[in-house]
Amino acid sequence: MNTMTRKLATIREIEEIKPIPEADKICAYRVGGWWVVDTINKYDVNDLAIYCEVDSWIPHELAPFLSKGQEPREYNGVKGERLRTVRLRGQLSQGLLLPSTILNELGLWPLVGDPVDHNLTNQLNIQKWEPPIPSQLQGTMRGNFPHFIPKTDQERCQNLRKDIFDTHKDDVYEVTTKLDGSSMTVYVKDGEVHVCSRNIDLIETEGNTFWNTAREQNIIDTLLELSVEKGEEYAIQGELIGEGIQGNPEKLTGHKFYLFDIYSITVGRYLKADERYSILDTLNMNGASIEHVPIVEQGLRVAQAYDSIDELLEFAEGPSLNPQTKREGLVFKSWESDFSFKAISNSYLLKTKF
Ligand code: AMP
Ligand code: MN
């Protein structure tokens, strides 16, 4: 999934309403796979409302009550607040519902075409909140992230109910542990190896953790050698984890890159799981020391094993790479197509400090 297409705020139908035990002023509304706690009787089933996902940065004017009477915070020059996962009277609440009437007030109504799923992210000036980048990861820019390689991203399962249980109901998946670090890409182009963070191509500088780790695990030379040997240019993508990154939940000493994807730049596609394992073996036989993210299940028929998004989210709970650590969640990749998604552990979201 590309960040450009990311829908953080969309018009949705309220699909289900459930009471919260011993709460008479609030209830839970369901849109897709998300539950949002709000005032009772505010919406009816089938009503249209604007749904904003967790990690949206909401401009203050849109929802001043989020600042709870305090001075709003600021992100990329916009005053507002970040939407987090919370528990209210024991009920999980993720994201924000806004009445569709505000579109009138903002002069955005009527919309052209079907309002359901209409993406309002840009019109409402909503951004995706990203954690601050530690200085050891910032580095010096060599260029933009290359346009010929997809950026790593995964859509949340809560937005893909129909796709998972209908369109892809017969799909078989590889399920891996989602590691909470920083996205890293190493690729070969025209006989040169590049190292990228999530958004930029980096110059090799002293003290840059992406480059240092790539050298330590001998990724640079082995990837170059492989592309010469195969006559094909590859990008390997994974998660850099360790000290100073996202609070180092795995309690690692130093840093380590864990691979989760290989993209053939020459052919313009992601390798299938078995092709990926075989390329990884070759790199390691040639002297690299690269581990794959942990594989939790291989060949899982998700739509048969689980009946709902809530059940999938239960499955996302569990130990991480470090068995003492709760995992951030799971990533599901279909064997049949490029379809993939993430299921984030709700208990992880509730406890994480970021
Ligand atoms: P998020 O961290 O919520 O933005 O989710 C997407 C990111 O998860 C990707 O950009 C990757 O950097 C990261 N990630 C961590 N573990 C995995 C994994 N096992 N498979 C795919 N992506 C992963
Ligand atoms: Mn992440």
* Cross-strand pairs, 167: none
Inform me whether the pLDDT recorded for 311 exceeds 60.
yes
Instruction: Decide if 177 is inside a domain.
Output: yes
| End-of-domain residue from the set 128, 147, 163 | 128
Residue 117: inside a domain: yes
State whether 271 and 183 are in the same domain.
yes
Distance in Å, CA 47 to ligand 1 centroid: 34
pLDDT in tens, 36-70: 999 999 999 999 999 999 999 999 999 999 999 99
Percentage of the residues of the chain whose pLDDT score is greater than 70: 98
C-beta separation of 51 from 59 below 8 A: no
Asked if 150 and 181 sit in the same domain, the reply is yes
Q: Is residue 311 domain-shared with residue 172, that is, in the same domain?
A: yes
Residues in Cβ contact with 24 at an 8 Å cutoff, skipping those fewer than 6 apart:
40
Of the residues 96, 128, 160, the one at which a domain ends: 128
Mean pLDDT in residue range 333-342: 94
Whether the per-residue pLDDT at 2 is higher than 70: the answer is no
Strand order through the sheet with 9-13: 9-13, 48-52, 96-99
Q: What average pLDDT score do residues 188-197 get?
A: 97
For a pocket test of ligand 1, which of 8, 157, 239 has the largest count of ligand atoms closer than 8 A to its C-beta? 239
Dihedral of CA 270/276/282/288: which sign? positive
Residue 286 and residue 201 in one domain = yes
Q: Select from 152, 186, 261, 340 the residue to mutate for testing ligand 1; criterion: most ligand atoms less than 8 Å from CB.
A: 152
Same domain, 75 and 214: no
Ligand nearest to the backbone CA of 150: 1
CATH code where residue 270 lies: 3.30.470.30
The beta strands (E) that lie in 204-301 are given as 234-242, 255-264, 269-270, 291-292, 295-300
Residue 131 pLDDT: 86
- Break the chain down into helix, strand, coil percent, rounded to 5: 20, 35, 45
For residues 187 and 5, which has the higher predicted lDDT (pLDDT)?
Answer: 187
Q: Are residues 92 and 197 in the same domain?
A: no
Mean pLDDT calculated for residue range 287-292: 98
Q: Which atom of ligand 1 is nearest to the CA of 177?
A: 19
pLDDT of residue 340: 97
Atom of ligand 1 nearest to the CA of 330: 19
What whole-number percentage of the chain has pLDDT above 90? 91
Nearest atom in ligand 1 to 183's CA: 12
For the residues 168-194, what does the mean pLDDT come to? 97
Mean pLDDT over 131-138 rounds to: 87
Burial class (CB in 10 A: 0-12, 13-18, 19+), 318: middle
Q: How many domains does the chain have?
A: 2
Say whether both 119 and 159 belong to one domain: no
> Using one digit for the tens of pLDDT, what is the confidence trace for 68-104?
999 999 999 999 999 999 999 999 999 999 999 999 9
What residue owns the CA closest to ligand 1's atom 3?
154
Last-in-domain residue among 107, 128, 149: 128
Task: Look up the pTM and report it.
Answer: 0.92
Pocket of ligand 1 (CB under 6 A): 152-154, 176-179, 183, 239, 260, 293, 331, 342
| Residue 40 resides in a domain | yes
The mean predicted confidence, pLDDT, of the chain is 95
pLDDT of residue 92: 96
Q: What is the pLDDT of residue 354?
A: 59
Hey, which of 127, 133, 153 would you mutate to test ligand 1's pocket, going by the most ligand atoms within 8 Å of its Cβ? 153
pLDDT at 5: 54
Residues 220, 280: one domain? yes
The minimum-distance atom of ligand 1 relative to the CA of 176 is 19
Considering the domain boundaries, does residue 4 fall inside one? no
* Boundaries of domain holding 21: 9-128
Strand partners, 13: 48
* Contact of 328 with 311, CB cutoff 8 Å: no
Whether residues 139 and 248 fall in one domain = yes
On whether both 114 and 140 belong to a single domain, the answer is: no
